[in-house]
Structure 1
Amino acid sequence: MIYPSTTGKADGKDLRLRTLESVWIQGKLKMWGRWSAINSSPKAADMFKRLLGKYVVNQDDLSKALKALRKKGCSSKELESWVNDMLQGSRHSSLVFCTDDEGLIMDKVIASVFRKSPRLLRILEKRYQEKMSLREIAEEFNESHPDLSFMTCRRRIDAWAGMAELMLYRPMSDAFDLNSERFYLQNEPVTG
């Protein structure tokens, strides 16, 4: 199915979201990635919920959360980077974190859309939960497929990530009761 909110050639080879749609769905996916990363360690989740609620965290809480995350396999450098990203993001936007209800809605939509496409889901998990860049995902893909050039792997990962976002846009909009056509300008022609 070709969504009216996509642009590209009529044959469907170059389907993609428009800029505002892409920014919106990527923002939702970033929130989902943070939410699911926090929820993977219950002890750390309590500390981060307190951080978000009060902005006051004692050293004991922080030590317990870091210890729990290290047991899950996170290095100190990764943890420091993640916390710094989280703090920097919260200064710039109120859309950095989501509630558990919003996270569950996003998780349900993502699971239903990709239940028959686990490889696309894995790309989203690497991108938004594990914070890998598309280049890093392409390098990993190239290592497992050395018969393909790196640029071929990069183009495929970029195309698959774009397709995953395209597949999620309308169901995610519907799940949050938003008009999926909301980014059209009044004088912009509607394609379909």
Structure 2
Amino acid sequence: MQGEMPLLRHITLLPIGFDPRATKWPPAMFEHAPLLTSVVLGVSFMVDCMQLPWGNLTHLEARCFYEYECTDVLRAATNLVYCKLNVIQNPTSMAAASVPVHLHLRDFILCPEDHNNVWQWGLLDSLTLPALRTVQIPQRNIPLDSLRAFLLRSQCTLEELRITGATSTEAVFREVLPAVGTIVVEPSVTSWPI
């Protein structure tokens, strides 16, 4: 997966494992793919095990990223417009790292694994997204106060807030977040297509 790739725009990586003895570690991939802007990463992808041109990406979907991997990638991928992350709990206790302000990120989706009790407000507390227009989050993993603080800090014009796995009504969210355009409350958690 190295060499000149002048026409490559999108790739989906579903690795089944890595052998660090097989190649230079971590392997730099797609170094010569100037048009690569859209990446989908499957369950076994590990940020520490592969270098991607994060700064080029505008669209990212990643399944099963540890919390620290999310902040590592978001620090490097500052040109994202669309981001969908499936966050799992760190293997050890780690504080959320700071992330630079993302000036272009318009659509942000957080999807927890089934029965995943990771509290994602650490990730949300590290983000400032002034261009944000739509966001989808699971209610069970993010307290309402953390969501409100995130939106106030971002000073975005949020057009749609989608709450999955909701135990509260739309009226509860509307009372706390009156400036949000549309609020959609879904009792089930949206599944991941990969």
Q: TM-score, normalised by structure 1?
A: 0.23
Between Structure 1 and Structure 2, which shows a larger proportion of strand residues?
2
Between Structure 1 and Structure 2, which shows a larger proportion of helix residues?
1
Query: Which of the pair has the greater relative contact order for Cα pairs under 8 Å at 6+ separation?
Result: 1
